[in-house]
Amino acid sequence: MKNPFGLRGGGGPLAVTRGLYNLVRTIWDPTRSDVQRGINALVADALAGATPERIAQFEREQPEVAKLFAEGYDPDVDPRRLESLPDGSLGREYVRFLRTNRIDPLATLLAMGRPANALAYHFRRAYKLHDILHVALGCDASILGEVRIVSYSLGQGARNRPSTDRDGRAPSLALAVLIMHIALRRPSEFREAVRLAAEWMSLGERSRAHVPFRVEDHLAEPVESVRAQLLAPA
């Protein structure tokens, strides 16, 4: 498998050096695109090995996600449409979050293309919901805010992740990079980051699965209302 940071078993000294450099640079500054590139590489690897048997297994383990895929459920979340929603609604606050932090999730989402099967749909939907979760769960775009969201996703996976997801390597990678960055450059925040990671992982384990939740149907509702639904006991 191609390592997400460019490390290969037989790539020679130059490839190994380049991979180590990318890893260190990403840990030093995780706001770069390298984390996303690494996660995308893991997702691409998982999908490349998606045999018909693996896809069928996924559909058995995640029938709600498979149903959404069969229905073609993928409502529009274009910020230009959502900005007309009332202040305090999830959709309007999502637009505000994107613009405040200069985030363009649609560019990557569209580049991923239309999913060919339920497993690809699962990965694409998880990416689509990432920034919506930031708003719905009250997590800012800071490093500690990312620790919360990624830990929540890992907690969700402890109960909901299918075996076809290769043990959740993508969120594990993201959390490892964030924690190493904090240990290296923000040591005063390290203890808080570890505490938040444990707290939000536990929250993810206790809460309903967010990927099959039709959150797009609730974008006009107050953020607090949607939050209560997402955090309802599993």
The domain spans of the chain are 38-230
* 206/231 Cα distance (integer angstroms): 8
Find the Cα–Cα–Cα–Cα dihedral 7, 13, 17, 20, rounded to 10°.
40
Determine the distance from the C-alpha atom of residue 92 to the mean position of all C-alpha atoms in its chain, rounded to a whole number: 21
* 115/228 Cα distance (integer angstroms): 30
* 7/4 Cα distance (integer angstroms): 7
Long-range contact list for 45-48, CB < 8 A, 24+ apart?
45/1, 45/2, 45/166, 46/119, 46/123, 46/164, 46/165, 46/166, 47/119, 47/120, 47/123
* 227/231 Cα distance (integer angstroms): 6
Per-residue pLDDT of the chain (234 residues; tens, 9 = 90+): 333 333 334 445 555 455 545 555 556 566 545 555 655 665 666 677 789 999 999 999 999 999 999 999 999 999 999 999 999 999 999 999 999 999 888 777 777 788 999 999 998 998 899 999 999 999 999 999 999 999 999 999 876 554 544 545 677 878 888 898 899 889 999 999 999 999 999 999 999 999 999 999 999 999 999 999 999 998
Question: DSSP letters along 42-62, please?
Answer: HHHHHHHT--HHHHHHHHHH-
Question: pTM (2 decimals)?
Answer: 0.80
